[in-house]
């Protein structure tokens, strides 16, 4: 960190990917800047570094400080840098060499659980809203209103595109996130239930059992790292 502070002059561009923003932030180089990091760490990053404006984005360019999530967002940020330094044609050639044909906007949020089936723009927006509100689920009429739809039209979109209901999709996202949290062993079963919008432990257990065929505690014991 001392080396970073010494090397990072005001006109020096610093790029950090995945977990790298933690080191840069701890060095004080992100104070007063916008930044992002891997989606799994966004909440803890924001809590740890109150002086940094944490954004859920694929990558963030804030003056001379560039930060991104891992994997594909890091590739997107690299292509942006190539385009600035060598032009759009060169960036397109580099993207082609990586078979990277899609260039999402840098401000697109990182998704915890990317869709496994093709979405329309409307259901993709609904998916992002749901994913952004797992701990405190939004009522479906509120989601529909934000999308400029009636609740009935929202349901029709999900039935026609994904052959499911919006309610079932939302529940599946919450339970998938619960499974991930239990698997990494970071919280108790009750904390996981609350983090995914279940105020009743029994309701959580029944829903989890119906989806995964076992109790949440069993998943945690089987998959969480040995302590």
Find, among 61, 14, 13, 11, the residue nearest to 36 by Cα: 61
DSSP 56: -
Report which secondary-structure segment, H or E, holds 8. none
pLDDT score for 32:
95
Tell me whether residue 203 is exposed, middle or buried, using C-beta atoms within 10 angstroms of its C-beta: 0 to 12, 13 to 18, 19 or more.
exposed
Neighbours of 88 (CB within 10 A): 11
CA-based radius of gyration for the chain: 20
Instruction: Name all domains of the chain by residue range, CATH numbers in brackets.
Output: 2-97 (3.40.50.880), 113-227 (1.10.10.60)
pLDDT value at 116 more than 60: no
Alpha-helix runs per DSSP H in 87-213: 88-97, 121-132, 140-146, 151-162, 166-184, 189-195, 201-212
Tell me if 29 sits within 8 A of 91, measured CB to CB.
no
What average pLDDT score do residues 18-34 get? 94
Structure confidence by residue, pLDDT tens digits, 138-156: 999 999 999 999 999 999 9
Find, among 104, 103, 111, 145, the residue nearest to 127 by Cα: 111
Report which secondary-structure segment, H or E, holds 115. none
pLDDT score for 143:
94
Question: Alpha-carbon torsion 190, 192, 195, 200, what sign?
Answer: negative
pLDDT score for 220:
82
pLDDT value at 3 more than 50: yes
Find, among 68, 54, 66, 52, the residue nearest to 104 by Cα: 68
How far is it, in rounded angstroms, from Cα 37 to Cα 173?
Answer: 21
pLDDT averaged over every residue in the chain: 87
How far is it, in rounded angstroms, from Cα 65 to Cα 8?
Answer: 10
Find, among 80, 67, 5, the residue nearest to 35 by Cα: 67
Structure confidence by residue, pLDDT tens digits, 41-60: 888 899 999 999 998 888 99
Q: Which of 66-75, 127-136, 196-205 has the highest mean pLDDT?
A: 196-205
pLDDT value at 226 more than 60: no
Neighbours of 209 (CB within 10 A): 13
Structure confidence by residue, pLDDT tens digits, 156-182: 999 988 889 999 999 999 998 898 888
């Amino acid at each position: 960190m001392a080396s970073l502070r010494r090397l990072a002059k005001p006109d020096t561009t610093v790029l950090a990917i995945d977990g790298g923003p933690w080191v840069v932030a701890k060095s004080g180089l992100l104070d007063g800047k916008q930044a992002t990091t891997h989606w799994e760490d966004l909440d803890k990053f924001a809590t740890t570094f109150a002086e940094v404006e944490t954004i859920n984005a694929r990558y963030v360019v804030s003056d001379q400080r560039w930060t991104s999530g891992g994997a594909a967002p890091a590739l997107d940020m690299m292509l942006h840098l190539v385009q600035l330094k060598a032009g759009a044609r060169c960036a397109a050639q580099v993207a082609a060499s990586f078979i990277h044909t899609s260039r999402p906007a840098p401000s697109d949020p990182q998704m915890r659980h990317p869709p496994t089936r093709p979405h329309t723009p409307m259901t993709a927006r609904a998916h992002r809203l749901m994913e952004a509100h797992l701990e405190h689920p939004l009522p479906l009429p509120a989601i529909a209103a934000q999308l400029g739809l009636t609740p009935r039209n929202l349901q029709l979109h999900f039935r026609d595109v994904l052959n499911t209901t919006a309610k079932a999709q939302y529940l599946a996202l919450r339970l998938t996130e619960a499974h991930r949290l239990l698997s990494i062993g970071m919280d108790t079963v009750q904390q996981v239930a609350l983090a995914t919008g279940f105020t009743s432990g029994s309701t959580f257990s029944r829903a989890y059992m119906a989806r995964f065929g076992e109790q949440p505690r069993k998943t945690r014991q089987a998959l969480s790292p040995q302590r």
